[in-house]
Structure 1
């Protein structure tokens, strides 16, 4: 658990004011930067502002800004579930440290927060399945739309997706929501992928990387898809013993030994380890995609047409009826 002193020390790194934006709270910290919620006193709206040290050699925030700008220019109809860019520049925090910043749309919930508050928090199992199907459909549709622009994200995980309510920030009861993709620091055009890559530097996140990425192979859109399926699996089955073991290894230091342990655990994933049919189907789908990818390399882009076909495979079997008095959390363990 994060201590108050640690949280305070982290928050003090953020500039309290950036132009008309006032710091509200920390949203996340990554390998190359950090992001916080800011309140714009001019238009009275909330925004996400990502910051990176101005001295950073990798300039990942500049790359992300350029990647997003190009993608937004191509998206004339504003159909892509990605954040809009409002400002980019340099600033200093209260200690005088210089940062590069990027102002983007703010989305109300993390993936886990929305799942816990709006889908899992109930006692009607039929409604849970209905809402979960819609939720997974939106998540996968987000990825399908992104892939349709010939891009590869290369770091799909729960932390890199957010849920936005299609209304004012205060109106969090609205059922109209959208899953958005964020953090494009490692994203590339499909044409930029080096198909000769074969080394031990794992790009992305150990927890959701496909077995091919663990093996040092180059990214394809299929690897993004596998990462999205792992993300869903970990979200709905976080209490599963096998999943907990996988998460435990993934949270350790990123040594080659630990990465190999995670890869081996993923190889051992079996539908029989899960009681929930949805989880079984996700594992089966991952295995099917792995065979497909293995046969089709060096194909970069996926050949699926829509998210609905994937959702149909995940929900192809109805769950066994369980008495209503048992809570949803108990049912899906």
Structure 2
């Protein structure tokens, strides 16, 4: 096989927030990837200068997966987006790792777009691979995604996401289906055994978006639909982006296996009493935002479901999250977007 040219490259995008251990494990897994396609890694650290310094130290410490490149910075990065940038290299393959310290907490979409705005002005890449920091992709995960996009003519492609802590149980086959009458997102293939038979065409017809934990997006797709919508801040931005890309084709690469710990950064995993206030608030607020944009006739259904979910928190002795669900729903109906003022002021 001929060596990959620069035009074969993929940009791997990761958004971090005070989780250097997660990112180090993710990059260690990426360092074991096959030689093709070639890729570089772009990280946006949303946690501020101290978190940025800890991340650089973690990646370049003895036993780490990266080495620093002496005297080399990232001079093209927009100063209004990054306070500082650093170029590293993976130790086991010729991949650059570019780390940016965001000027503030840009949210998930904002962190993705921070590097994506740089990339749209550069030649030499054909697609991006968005990975959650708490994922560990298999060595051939990226190759399978790119193959499905190119063979199937798909604009976005999702992976087989494994259930947290299990290597034999599926969390997502490709991604999400939005159930209009139920006003909720359904994980396709949830709880399937990984080797269970499935209908690829049926999975791809059902998809409304790849899972944001592992989402491959072609350059052509980005040029046609634009960047992620930063008004969500956290939650629903991947689903919104996928719905916008459906006209360009959504695909599922079953051989792209990605382990995902789920919610280690956002506080969105665990028992109802353990969910963070921010996660509950934004999930309810942004559901209103998403439905109002894509399925406005189902808005009354969503409000009713959100109310029932709020009472469910109360029944499970989580009054704080009951209130957060109600406040998020009201904020969504008022049209609030971006980071909540109470979260921004506390940051």
TM-score by length of 2: 0.32
Structure with greater contact order relative to length (CA < 8 Å, sep ≥ 6): 2
Determine which structure has the larger strand proportion and give its number: 2
